[in-house]
């Protein structure tokens, strides 16, 4: 029986992304919302892959991604002085373990009533 090569360590990392979304039928946003923003933790070998996967997942969920802003990996965020809770760390680990996109927070946007 041939020797099986040792499993390569995963090059996956988890990136923090904020995605702005517009309106689309069935998006689950409140009916008077104009859009929203989602904070997600997404795994990928680089940030570009994490963004592509996130956009694909959100489109499958009937959301309309408009813009994605990346905030880097856990190490990047820590070096910038961000405070990261144990809950966030757990969700980041989940995204890595499941090679997935985890929506951490969804904030709907509403038109200013004074306009």
Is 62 part of any domain? yes
- Terminal Cα distance for the chain, rounded: 74
pLDDT-above-70 percentage for the chain: 89
Contact between residue 21 and residue 37 where contact means Cβ atoms under 8 Å apart = yes
Is 115 part of any domain? no
Is 36 part of any domain? yes
Is 50 part of any domain? yes
Q: Could you give the number of structural domains in the chain? A: 1
Is 6 part of any domain? no
Question: Cβ contacts of residue 99 below 8 Å, gap of 6+?
Answer: 12, 43
Structural domain for 43, as ranges: 13-110
Which of the four pLDDT bands, split at 50, 70 and 90, describes residue 114?
A: low
Whole-structure pTM value: 0.86
Round to whole Å and give the CA distance between 63 and 73. Answer: 24
Is 65 part of any domain? yes
Is 92 part of any domain? yes
Question: Cβ contacts of residue 13 below 8 Å, gap of 6+?
Answer: 43, 44, 45, 46, 50, 73, 96
Which of the four pLDDT bands, split at 50, 70 and 90, describes residue 111?
A: confident
Is 2 part of any domain? no
């Amino acid at each position: 029986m041939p020797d099986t090569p040792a499993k390569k360590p995963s090059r996956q990392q988890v990136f923090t992304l904020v995605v702005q979304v517009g309106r689309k039928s069935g998006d689950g946003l409140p009916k008077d919302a104009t859009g929203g923003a989602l904070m997600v933790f997404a795994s990928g070998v680089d940030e570009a892959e994490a963004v592509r996967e996130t956009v694909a997942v959100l489109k499958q969920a009937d959301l309309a991604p408009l813009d994605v802003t990346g905030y880097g990996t856990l190490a990047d965020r820590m070096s910038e002085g961000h405070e990261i809770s144990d809950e966030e760390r757990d969700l980041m680990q989940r995204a890595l373990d499941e090679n997935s996109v985890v929506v951490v927070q969804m904030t709907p946007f509403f038109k200013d009533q004074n306009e």
